[in-house]
Chains A and B, each alone.
Chain A
Amino acid sequence: MSITPVSSPHAHDHSSIYRIMRHVCFALLPCTLFGIYIFGFPALNLFLLTIGSAILFEWLCLRLMKKSTTRLQDGSAVLTGWLLAISLPPWAPWWIAVSGAFIAIVIGKQLYGGIGQNLFNPAMLARVALLISFPVQLTTWPMPQESFLDTGFLDGLAITFNLAPIPDGATGATYLGALKTELGNNASAVEFASTQVRNSDALLGFSAGSLGETSALLILLGGIWLLLMRVITWHIPLAMIGTVIGLSALFNAIDPEQYAGVSFHLLTGSLLLGAFFIATDYVTSPSGKSGQLIFGAGCGILEYVIRTWGGYPEGISFAVLFMNALTPLIDLYCRPRIYGRSLNGKPKKYNAPLADAVEQES
């Protein structure tokens, strides 16, 4: 019998990176399919192009760096492409998809050393780079359609490949964007929320927005699936959502004319998508539980601050990137307490039953 010496354990819970990625993709399916349904063929094109180019760039990088291309099978490139696609405006042109995938995979991930090494969430890095470089394309929001086929296949191709301009009537503003404009015109937040926002639409997702962010309900469904499958724990999402709820309730109570209420902040934009799918990225968030709470709360605070006082209507990607940068620091200071040691690492002290020993010594 020939046996190579190997260390214990000789058992495994059968988890793998591929399985984790598969669970996350599965959890993203409902909100993604819904987004593709209401935004039609251009959205489908964007989705396929982003993921396709993410896979292509990953493959190219692995080849160039002479790493085994079997790494592709872990599914992480697919997930990065997927997250990027659903955080883009659904009718974004092909070159946004391709350059976004390039930034995410090549600059955001492989240049750092590949999977597990990147400091920033690749999808968010790409999104922010695109937003700053191409603000027009990144803020052109089509309104939801009645049905998938409202924009035909050929029209969809024309939109994706810039062959025809997007008809003026087809676009509009997101809820968050509209609020920002209204507040700029000295309108009241409370009035805006009650007249312009239908909570049922925001909950179900019949509104303008990024490809996968519109349906709060379906995102929540996916998030619950991730929690049940133990892919993520409650710490980051709860801290993040809880912080936004707390802040929006507080400021809304102080001045409802200026500050929108809890349900508005909760159901619009990509707070839920960010809390369940983006901030929870393993590589770029703290590995300990207390660190995750701080990280989530930090994301929540920044998100609220940017939405309310910042120049952009939505701030998830900035908030997450900022907290990504703090992750190593958080990890350094939020270590779990070691068994048999106090928090500062010194051995624990008890009033030990040493009576006899002391007597013997004296």
Chain B
Amino acid sequence: MLFSLFRGGVHPDGFKELSANRRISKLPIPGRLYVPLRQHAGTEAIAIVNVGDQVLKGQLIGRAGRGLSAPIHAPTSGEVIAIEPVVAAHPSGYSTKAVIIRTDRRDQVYPQPALVDPFIQDPETLAKKVADYGIVGMGGATFPSAVKLQSAVGYEINTLIINGGECEPYLTADDRLMRERPDTIVTGSRLIQHIIKAKRVAIVIEDNKKYAIAAMRNATEPYRDVDIVVVPTRYPMGSAKQMIQVVTKKEVPAGKLSTELGVLLYNVGTAYATCECLMENKPLVSRIVTVSGGAIKQPQNVEALVGTPLSYLIEHCGGTVEEPARLLMGGPMMGLVMPSADAPLIKGAGGVLALQAHEINQTESSPCIRCGRCVSACPMGLLPLEMANRARSQDFDSASEFGLKDCILCGSCAYVCPSHIPLVHYFQYAKGEISQKNAAQKRTEYTRELSEARRVRQEKEAAAKAAAKAAKSKRRKRSATTTD
């Protein structure tokens, strides 16, 4: 198969060997779980349990909030001892509401309805089940999967892409999952295919994962419409837009969804979770996570319950050789700095990395020398140096014009910058400012609409009142005449 690869990109050192060769181990149940009610893109789930309640594994503890949201389930059995803010898995260090469970280590399962073969069920029922079981995108974006499934309605989906790119350095969770549980992934992929009525499935894997490719090839053998597509290793191959470009040779139009091209993309972890949900009746309460980095004694992949404190994960991997220079959730290219090791594991976390100073190589930034490496590295064809200049001088409109709105924050530009300019920092700042401005504008418009509606209503009410008064006086008059 010939590829028209994507533009730019970088080749960071992989460091995958640190964790790629050990089997996934199951993390023991910690004494306490801190299960955040918001682990997905969208609004916070609403807690439906109370302090003191006994919960079972897989029991619904938070129903989906308004709009875009996903429900939250108990990762194991135990007692709810608090529902309060805990430190969030977010660099800002702010807190997030969580259900805190004292586990009983019996791991008793909440009774689920009897299983029906999903392949004979209709897509709507299955999509609803995926929503109810809290499945979200496992690649990091944590977009509620069911919403994506429903977005396919009305579109003819040619290709379902299952993303096994895993282009972030250090991370091997998807790699191990594909090596050890390929059949589950393939079944999950076929279930998604069944739901969205996709003509074919392309499971895309970077060529640095030999064993995963072999295992997946083996597992897809029986299915003629499920293919393994091996692509070169280059960051950000795993980014949806770039992967779609590589597989379909088409670009997702700016501001549109991939369904526009007849393509839908899911992470291998999401396919796995979908299979567990539809074939085994298991809500999403655990995930495979890579615990790695130079500061971790025994880097490896573990299957851990959502809500497990990161410190517990690290302890299980032998602890740290030294105080890590940086603790991350996700990969080094796009991962988030964790404010503390107390932060809990969430559904979208593919990795927990404790990095040493030399791995980060952060030095003070110097002025831009316009070398253009960021321009060459940008997979979106943007001008990072110009965007950063304008963001720094608060000229957000101009930054937008130079491509900020198309920026996927992949970090390729900052990775190659010889001046060590924190480009992504500028972009995030500018994006934040822009969205705040937009929100403020929306609020003003909304207020205006409300006051306008109020005025109309008041006028209507006044008119109605006047009419009623008139009718009443008329009636009185009439009744007066009749009684006379």
Q: Which residues of A contact B (CB under 8 A)?
A: 1, 3, 5-17, 19-20, 71, 74, 76, 114-117, 233, 282-283, 285-289, 292, 335-341, 347-350, 352-357, 360
The 6 closest A-B pairs by CB, nearest first: A287-B372, A9-B411, A7-B425, A357-B154, A347-B254, A336-B381
Residues of A within 8 Å of B48, CB to CB, are none
User: Is A354 within 8 A of B362, CB to CB?
Assistant: no
Looking at chain B's contact residues, is the secondary structure mostly helix, strand, loop, or mixed?
loop
User: What distance in Å separates the Cβ of A200 from its nearest Cβ neighbour in chain B?
Assistant: 37
Interface hub of A10, A14, A338 (most chain B Cβ within 10 A):
A10
B65 adjacent to chain A (CB < 8 Å)? no
A11-B13, A13-B416, A16-B363 known; 7 new pairs, CB 8 Å cut-off, are: A1-B327, A5-B339, A10-B355, A12-B361, A12-B417, A13-B10, A347-B254
Q: Which residues of B come within 8 Å of A, CB atoms?
A: 6-7, 10, 12-13, 91-93, 154-156, 158, 169, 241, 245, 250-256, 260-262, 323-324, 326-328, 330, 332-341, 353, 355, 359-363, 366-373, 375-376, 378-383, 385, 402-403, 406, 409, 411, 414-420, 422, 424-425, 428
Query: A10 touching B328 by the CB < 8 A rule?
Result: yes
**Contact assessment for A283 and B262 in the assembled complex, using a CB-CB cutoff below 8 Å:** no
With both chains docked as a complex, state the minimum distance between the C-beta of A291 and any C-beta of chain B, in angstroms: 9
Q: Which one of A14, A282, A337, A354 lies within 8 Å of B370 (CB-CB)?
A: A282
Contact A115 B366, beta carbon cutoff 8 Å: yes
Q: Which residue of A lies closest to B293 (CB)?
A: A10
Distance in angstroms from B325 CB to nearest chain A CB is 9
Contacts of A292 in B (CB 8 A): 372
Q: Is the CB of B155 within 8 A of A8?
A: no
B371 contact from A13, A282, A337, Cβ within 8 A: A282
Q: A8 touching B335 by the CB < 8 A rule?
A: yes
Tell me the complex Cα distance, A232–B323, Å. 39
Q: Is the CB of A353 within 8 A of B418?
A: no
CB-based nearest A residue for B408:
A339
Q: Which B residues touch A10, using CB under 8 A?
A: 326, 328, 332-333, 335, 337, 353, 355, 359-360, 362
Contacts of B254 in A (CB 8 A): 338-341, 347-348
CB distance from A194 to the nearest CB of B (A): 43
Check A350 against B250 for contact (C-beta < 8 Å): yes
Minimum CB–CB distance for B322 against chain A, Å: 12
Chain B residues in 8 Å Cβ range of A16: 363, 418-420
Measured between beta carbons, the chain B residues less than 8 angstroms from A347 are 253-256
User: Separation in Å of the B370 CB from the closest CB of chain A?
Assistant: 5
Instruction: Return 14 A-B CB contacts under 8 Å, by A number.
Output: A5-B92, A6-B422, A7-B428, A10-B337, A10-B353, A11-B13, A20-B418, A115-B369, A287-B385, A340-B252, A341-B254, A350-B250, A353-B262, A355-B156
Given contacts A12-B415, A338-B382, A338-B406, contact A6 B337 (CB under 8 A): yes
Task: Choose among A7, A11, A337, A350 the residue that contacts B360 (Cβ–Cβ < 8 A).
Answer: A11
Distance in Å from the Cβ of B85 to the closest Cβ of chain A? 18
Counting chain B CB atoms within 10 Å of each CB, the highest count among A8, A12, A292 belongs to A8
A196 → chain B closest CB, angstroms? 41
CB pair B336–A8 under 8 Å, yes or no, is: yes
- Would you give the shortest CB distance from A289 to chain B, in whole angstroms? 7
Question: Within the complex, which residue of B256, B335, B376, B416 is in contact with A289, where a contact is CB–CB below 8 Å?
Answer: B376
Other-chain contact of B262, A15, A115, A352 (Cβ < 8 Å): A352
Asked if A9 and B415 sit within 8 Å, CB to CB, the answer is yes
> A8-B424, A12-B415, A347-B255 are contacts. A287–B371 as well, Cβ < 8 Å?
yes
Also in contact, A348 and B253, with CB within 8 A (given A11-B12, A336-B7): yes
- Asked if residues B339 and A3 are in contact (CB atoms below 8 Å), the reply is yes
State in angstroms the CA–CA spacing of A115 and B365 once bound together: 13
In the assembled complex, the Cα of A8 lies from the Cα of B351 at a distance in Å of 14
Question: Which of B250, B370, B382, B417 has the most chain A CB atoms closer than 10 A to its own CB?
Answer: B370
Contact check, A1 vs B323: say whether CB atoms are below 8 A apart: yes
Question: A341–B253 Cα gap in the complex (Å)?
Answer: 6
How distant is the Cα of A10 from the Cα of B359 in the complex, in angstroms? 8
Q: Which B residues are CB-close (under 8 A) to A340?
A: 241, 251-256, 406
